[in-house]
């Protein structure tokens, strides 16, 4: 799973919020709007162009004071939540 490239699906729209610290994620299929933490926002920006778990973990550990094991666990949880909602998937 760590070698896979993940990306946002067509129904996911990530828009930058005020002050560039965080943003919102819009599900264009259901019209659900999600506010993002700073960590989630950094991962969403990377997912716009496609990113592997290792890439996302590197983003989180570079931006925040968190160790690699915790960043990896949180990243995998975040990706699975997005996938369950239909907002991210592994690129074919």
Output the CA–CA distances (angstroms, integers) from residue 60 to 27, 67, 90, in the order listed: 23, 9, 19
Q: Which residues, other chains included, contact 91 with Cβ-Cβ below 8 Å and sequence gap of 6+?
A: 4, 5, 6, 7, 50
Confidence of residue 91 (pLDDT cuts 50, 70, 90): confident
pTM above 0.75, yes or no: yes
CA torsion, ordered 23, 19, 71, 88, to nearest 10 deg: 20
Model pLDDT for residues 12-32, shown as the tens digit of each residue: 999 987 765 679 999 999 999
Sort 35 into a burial class: Cβ within 10 Å, 0-12 / 13-18 / 19+.
exposed
**Does residue 56 register a pLDDT over 90?**
yes
């Amino acid at each position: 799973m760590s070698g896979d490239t993940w990306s946002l699906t067509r129904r996911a729209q990530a828009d930058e919020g005020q002050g560039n610290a965080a943003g919102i994620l819009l599900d264009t299929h259901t019209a659900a709007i999600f506010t993002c933490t700073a960590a989630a926002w950094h991962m969403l920006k990377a997912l716009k162009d496609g990113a592997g778990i290792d890439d996302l973990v590197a983003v989180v550990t570079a931006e925040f004071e968190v160790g690699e094991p915790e960043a990896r666990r949180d990243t995998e949880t975040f990706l699975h939540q997005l996938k369950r909602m239909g907002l991210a998937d592994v690129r074919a």
